[in-house]
């Protein structure tokens, strides 16, 4: 996905011994969703912020944020001013 400037970053957290595989699987489906629905300007990533936790993120421009939020129900999100409740 292409890099996006501004907007909101959405997060999905996965925990436990199978978290990496689950997060990478979710990332694949997230990228497929963004392409299929024509949601442009998003960038996605997967990372391990701490042992036993993997996080998938999607940075979306403001005009795409509602589509991602409604369809994928992220666990948390962060805008330019800090963490927001979903």
Q: Is the pLDDT of residue 19 over 80?
A: yes
Q: Does residue 53 lie within any of the structural domains?
A: yes
Each residue's pLDDT tens digit, 25-68: 999 999 999 999 999 999 999 999 999 999 999 999 999 999 99
Q: Is the pLDDT of residue 3 over 50?
A: no
Q: Does residue 18 lie within any of the structural domains?
A: yes
Q: Does residue 83 lie within any of the structural domains?
A: no
Which residues lie closer than 8 Å to 76 by C-beta, 6 or more apart? 10, 11, 13, 83, 84, 85, 86
Q: Does residue 82 lie within any of the structural domains?
A: no
Q: Does residue 52 lie within any of the structural domains?
A: yes
Q: Which range of residues forms the domain containing residue 12? A: 8-77
Provide the domain count of the chain.
1
pTM: 0.84
Q: Does residue 57 lie within any of the structural domains?
A: yes
Q: Does residue 21 lie within any of the structural domains?
A: yes
Q: Does residue 37 lie within any of the structural domains?
A: yes
Q: Is the pLDDT of residue 86 over 80?
A: no
Each residue's pLDDT tens digit, 71-85: 999 999 998 666 555
pLDDT at 31: 98
Cα distances from 69 to residues 11, 22, 28, 39, 64, in angstroms, run 10, 20, 17, 12, 9
């Amino acid at each position: 996905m292409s890099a996006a400037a501004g907007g909101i970053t959405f997060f999905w957290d996965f925990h436990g011994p199978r978290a990496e595989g689950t997060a990478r699987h979710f990332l694949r489906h997230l990228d497929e969703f963004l392409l299929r629905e024509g949601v442009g300007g998003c960038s996605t990533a997967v990372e391990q912020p701490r042992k036993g936790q993997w996080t998938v993120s999607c940075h979306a421009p403001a005009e795409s944020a509602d589509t991602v939020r409604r369809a994928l129900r992220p666990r948390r999100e962060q805008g330019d001013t800090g963490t927001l409740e979903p």
